[in-house]
Amino acid sequence: MTEIKNDKDHLDDYCEECGCEDESVSQNLLMFGYKICASCKISKTIFPI
């Protein structure tokens, strides 16, 4: 039962751009609405789609 909860927490920390797991992903999701890591956030800032 605890495995399901832990797995859900992990999914929340996966970057949708590169697929890496980083604690910054959930922070960026809260602040910008994007599930991206710090590295991908910089890429988006420099080269916005």
Which stretches of the chain bind Zn ion, using CB under 5 A? 15, 17-18, 37, 40
- Give dist(CA 49, CA 47) in Å, integer: 6
Find the shortest distance in angstroms from Cβ 10 to Zn ion.
15
Find the shortest distance in angstroms from Cβ 7 to Zn ion.
20
- Give dist(CA 41, CA 13) in Å, integer: 14
* Closer by beta carbon to Zn ion, 9 or else 16: 16
Q: What is the amino acid identity at position 26? A: S
Find the shortest distance in angstroms from Cβ 48 to Zn ion.
15
